[in-house]
Structure 1
Amino acid sequence: MTVSYQQQLDAKIARITTQFSAFEPPALEVFASPEAHFRMRAEFRIWHTDDDMFYAMFERDADKQHKTVVRIDEFPIADQKINDLMPILLNTLKTERVLSQRLFEIDFLATLSGEMLVTLIYHRKLDEEWEAAARTLADQLKIKIIGRSRGQKIVLSEDYVVETLKVFDQEYHYKQIESSFTQPNAQVCQKMLEWACNAAKGTDGDLLELYCGNGNFTLPLSRHFNRVLATELAKPSVYAAQWNCERNNIDNIQVARLSAEEFTEAYTGQRQFRRLEEANIHLNEYQFNTVFVDPPRAGIDDDTLKLLSGFERILYISCNPDTLKDNLEILCQTHRIEKFALFDQFPYTHHVESGVLLIKK
């Protein structure tokens, strides 16, 4: 039986409501996704036959021991621009042996603002002939192209796109680097940013953000605080966050290349980090009253949870309800849930993004 979008969303709402009922949260705010063309990234294997090649994905059997190749001619969950490009790109590649030979995978990265980056991944070394043909293809289709093979990355123009997201009446521009993490559902992402900004209204002082990525939340949240210190460990994301601050003319944000665990050690005086000194970041100058966290699926480590418990307000975006529940078992000893939200970033899957605003008791 085919399950409609609303049915699968209702099932997620029921699951989250039941899972978190013990915390007695307020009414769940639900932010739905468009039912189609919502995903800004798509990755496909390229399957070769004697006289053809096509986009492919793999479907596992019930016992998960075997995989079946599934031909993909269209991908309705992906952005419309990706769907429009897919057949045009494939047909053009088929006519150029130097571009199709041992082509293994194609990755698409699109933006609401109209840019498209395509990564062509090969099981062979790429040479000058490939580069010349790829440049012609990029010009013809008006896209950015990256070529990859083992030990090779050939960037023909740029290895990023610039996304524009609107938060209420303000536009923000984000550098999104190929193979770095970005929110896949841009339209739901805009709803998440607006929810976070609403949750931050009426605060004062400074904001600490852990796991800031490319500054997705950092930029719009900065309007609600005197100063922001954002931390992120991955170098490409730190670079992108700094670029995004400059591109958007925001000057009250500092970005520190630290993991959440390292920040906890620095803030509690257990360790000193040259990275903070080199960036001219002095933790004692901040007056933090709010912390924003968007951790990986594993959730937040015990030492960082202990640190968070001392903040007046905690804004928590979670991509894993199970680790969120575990973390709330600790945080709700000192805080109560003021706002609770569900963001359907990944329709037609079991994945759920949640938002929680915690206020100190």
Structure 2
Amino acid sequence: MSITPIQPEAYPQLLADKVSDFASLFADLGLPAPKVHPSPAEHYRMRAEFRIWHDNDELYYAMFDPAQPKIPVRIDYFPTASASICRLMPVLRQALQNNEHLRHRLFQIEFLSTLSGDMMVTLIYHRKLDDTWQAAAEGLAQDLNITIIGRSRKQKLVLSRDYVEECLPIAGREYHYRQYEGGFTQPNAHINCAMIEWALAHLAGSESRDLVELYCGNGNFTAPLAGAFRRVLATEISKTSVKAARENFALNHIDNVEILRMSSEEFTAALNGEREFRRLENINLADYTLDTILVDPPRAGLDDATRALVARFKRILYISCNPHTLHRDLQQLHKTHHCEQLAMFDQFPYTEHLECGVLLTERDELCPSS
């Protein structure tokens, strides 16, 4: 995709084109009309990264056009990034340019911002970082009121902490999250809130039921949904995400979630009784009333075994970041379930990407075996 200026005035039509393309792709499934959730047309990305280009005594932010990958495109203003990142960019650039200890062999900068006002900046170098760098970085962090992390090959220097603290307004309540450097977080916070509220609205009234959640990440959906269920059994493979999720449950005073560091394939094998796992030795799966499942898989969608597992549940809430793999999975799930609700969340305006949410219910009254 070429690097071209965004055009907020064109956004409504671009979104309408996406919705039309989605409708054409899924025409064979007879899905209900979707609820479309547009993004803010500007300042919607909570994270951004740039190469740093050195031109004699000047340095500047740069990106590269795939059509001309060796030619840096200078970026002085990046309106897709959050307003706080846009405000910080010129101030940070000038501070780095004026400090030889911080600018020397600086290669890349990554920003992670929040709705709550927290900001983390990762400075990445082609050299080993020393005490002189650390002293200069600590002064910069204090001057700009930001968190700074320094990285180079096989080196990570955390000056204070390696996470930001986010606060998301969800359905009239605030939920607190630690978002770790290097860990996955939803890039568009406004759309993220809309996705969580949509899921919560369609899974409300489940206090006597238990929820299984695969790919739970840092507890993004888990924390708000936990109050709608008796218990939640969640799985996640990333160590960083599992650590963050446990901390986020504690921050939000949630005590009815059990999180397992397992892949979806491993959990499927455990639920089918095909393998025993030490990670499950204190959990009796038979004690759970497993009739609802939430899946938010990577772009590859569901593998065959996980898709078969998901089909055993009475209610399926499927969050997808790839309409094409979602279509493939729904072609199979449509044999046993029908689609009650459909939503589209424009997480990435001005691109072809589209996030989707689907609520499926079993076609008969039989509950899945647990």
TM-score (norm 2): 0.94
Alpha carbons 1:210, 1:294 under 8 Å: kept: yes
Give the distance between the partners of 1:168 and 1:282, measured in 2 at CA.
33
Structure 2 residue matching 1:191: 3-state secondary structure = helix
Q: Which runs of 5+ in 1 are unaligned?
A: none
Question: Counterpart in 1 of 2:367?
Answer: none
From 99, 103, 107, the counterpart of 1:104: 107
Which residue pairs with 2:196 in the alignment? 193
Q: Where do residues 44-193 of structure 1 align in structure 2 (5 Å cutoff)?
A: 44-61=50-67, 66-193=69-196
* Contact 1:208-1:229 within 8 A present in 2 as well: yes
What residue in structure 2 maps to residue 317 of structure 1? 319
Q: Which whole-Å CA distance do the structure 1 matches of 2:294 and 2:70 have between them?
A: 40
Residue 16 of structure 1 aligns to which amino acid in structure 2?
A: F
Counterpart of 2:211 (choices 207, 212, 224) is: 207
Match of 2:284 in 1: 282
Q: Which segments of structure 1 move beyond 3 Å, counting only runs of 4 or more?
A: none
Give the alignment partner of residue 37 of structure 1, picking from 28, 39, 43: 43
What residue is the counterpart of 1:358 in the other structure? 360
Deviations 1:250-306 (A, max 9, x none): 1111100001001000111111111222xx332222111100000000000101111
Is the CA contact (8 Å cut-off) linking 1:60 and 1:68 kept in structure 2?
Answer: no
Which position in structure 2 is the counterpart of 1:307? 309
Deviation at 1:21, TM superposition (A): 1.7
1:51, CA displacement in angstroms? 2.1
Matched with 2:345 is 343
Query: Cα distance, 1:66 vs. partner?
Result: 4.2
Cα offset, 1:210, TM superposition: 0.1
Pair 1:66–1:184, CA change in 2 (3 A): closer
Q: CA deviation at 1:68?
A: 2.6
Q: Is residue 2:242 matched to residue 1:238?
A: yes
Secondary structure of the corresponding residue to residue 213 of structure 2: strand
For 1:27, the equivalent position in structure 2 comes to: 33
- CA distance in 2: counterparts of 1:326 and 1:309, whole angstroms: 14
Q: CA deviation at 1:67?
A: 3.7
Unaligned runs of 5+ in 2: 364-370
What amino acid does structure 1 have at the position aligned with 2:158? V
1:297–1:319 contact (8 Å) kept in structure 2? yes
Alpha-carbon distance in structure 2 between the residues aligned to 1:156 and 1:201: 42
- Cα deviation 1:174-231 (Å, max 9, x = unaligned): 1100011000000110000000001102334100000000000001111111000010
Partner of 1:328: 330
- Measure, in 2, the Cα distance between the counterparts of 1:192 and 1:45: 31
Report how many aligned residue pairs link the two structures: 356
Aligned equivalents of 2:204, 2:96: Cα separation in 1 = 51
Question: In the alignment, is the contact (CA less than 8 A) between 1:17 and 1:28 conserved in 2?
Answer: no
Q: Look up the equivalent residue of 1:232 and give its one-letter code.
A: E
State the percentage of identical aligned residues: 55
Amino acid at match of 1:186: A
Deviation track 1:302-323 (CA, whole Å, cap 9, x = no partner) reads: 0111111110000000000000
**Which whole-Å CA distance do the structure 2 matches of 1:225 and 1:360 have between them?**
19
Aligned-pair Cα RMSD in Å: 1.2
Question: CA contact under 8 A between 1:309 and 1:334: conserved in structure 2?
Answer: yes
Aligned partner of 2:270 in structure 1 is: 266
Q: Following TM superposition, by how much is the alpha carbon of 1:82 offset from its aligned partner in structure 2, in angstroms?
A: 0.3
CA distance in 1 between counterparts of 2:82 and 2:294 reads 29
Q: CA deviation at 1:7?
A: 1.2
Q: Provide the rounded CA distance (Å) in 2 between the counterparts of 1:97 and 1:246.
A: 42
